[in-house]
Amino acid sequence: MDTLECIKTRRSVRKYKDKPVEWEKIVNILHAGKSAPCAGNIQNWKFIVIRDEANRKKVAKAALEQGWMEDAPVHIIVIAEPEKAARFYGTRGERLYTIQNCAAAVENMLLAAHAQGLGACWVGAFNEDEIMYTTNLPEEAIAHAIITIGYADEKPPMPPKNRIEHVTYLEKWWNRRKVPPYGWYSVNVEKGVKGAKKFFEKISKKVKNK
85-89, 124-128, 173-177, 201-205: least confidently modelled range: 201-205
Range in 52-61, 100-109, 120-129, 185-194 the model is least confident about: 185-194
For residues 175, 160, 70, 143, the Cα torsion angle rounded to the nearest 10 degrees is: 0
> What is the C-alpha separation between 54 and 142, in angstroms, rounded?
22
Q: What is the pLDDT of residue 200?
A: 74
The 10s digit of each residue's pLDDT in 1-19 is 899 999 999 999 999 999 9
Q: Is the pLDDT of residue 184 over 60?
A: no
Q: Which amino acid is at 82?
A: P
Its pTM stands at: 0.84
Mean pLDDT of the chain: 92
Report the Cα 146 to chain-centroid distance in Å: 12
Pick the closest to residue 122 from 1, 33, 21 (CA basis): 33
Task: Please compute the mean of the pLDDT values over residues 19-36 and round it to a whole number.
Answer: 98
pLDDT at 61: 98
Q: Is the pLDDT of residue 190 over 70?
A: no
Q: What is the mean pLDDT of residues 149-165?
A: 94
- Domains parsed from the chain with CATH numbers: 3-150 (3.40.109.10), 164-209 (no CATH)
